[in-house]
């Protein structure tokens, strides 16, 4: 199924959670915050959040800034 992650259309196996997807992208879930279809998903809900075809996901993290 296709999910748009940070503006890129990517193909994932159905049935994955947000946590699975973050791990499959080699990201550390503890330093990422997610916005799924414009709703914020805090880290403790990654594993309980299912994904559906057509979802729009934003993954963000802190970087250096003044």
Partner 1 sequence: MEHDIFEIGGKRLSSRLFTGTGKYGSDSLISAVCEASGSQVITVALRRVDLDKSADNVMRHIPGHMTLLPNTSGARTAGEAVRIARLARAMGCGNWIKIEVISDNRYLLPDGYETARATEILAKEGFVVLPYMNPDLYVARSLADAGAAAIMPLGAPIGTNRGLRTEEMIRILIEEMDLPIIVDAGIGTPSQACQAMEMGAAACLVNTATPRLRTRCSWAAPSDGPWPQAAKPGSPGPEPSPLWRRRPRP
Sites for partner 1 among residues 44-63 (CB under 8 A) = 58-63
Two structure tokens written together for 30: 């503890």
Nearby residues of 15 by Cβ (< 8 Å), 6 or more positions away: 50
CA diameter of the chain: 40
Contact 55, 4 (CB under 8 A): yes
CB of 10 to partner 1, least distance (A): 8
Enter the tokens of residue 17. 């959670």
Instruction: Give the binding range for partner 1 (CB under 8 A) out of 12-20, 39-47, 48-56.
Output: 39-47
Q: Is 9 in the site for partner 1 (CB under 8 A)?
A: no
Q: Is 11 an interacting residue with respect to partner 1 (CB under 8 A)?
A: no
Q: Where along the sequence are the contacts to partner 1 (CB under 8 A)?
A: 5-8, 25-28, 31-33, 35, 40-43, 58-66
């Amino acid at each position: 199924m296709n999910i748009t992650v940070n503006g890129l259309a990517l193909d994932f196996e159905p049935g994955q959670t947000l946590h699975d997807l973050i791990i499959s992208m080699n990201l550390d879930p503890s330093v990422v915050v997610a916005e799924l279809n414009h709703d914020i998903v805090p880290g403790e809900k990654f594993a309980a959040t299912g994904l559906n075809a057509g979802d729009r996901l934003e993954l963000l993290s802190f970087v250096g800034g003044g």
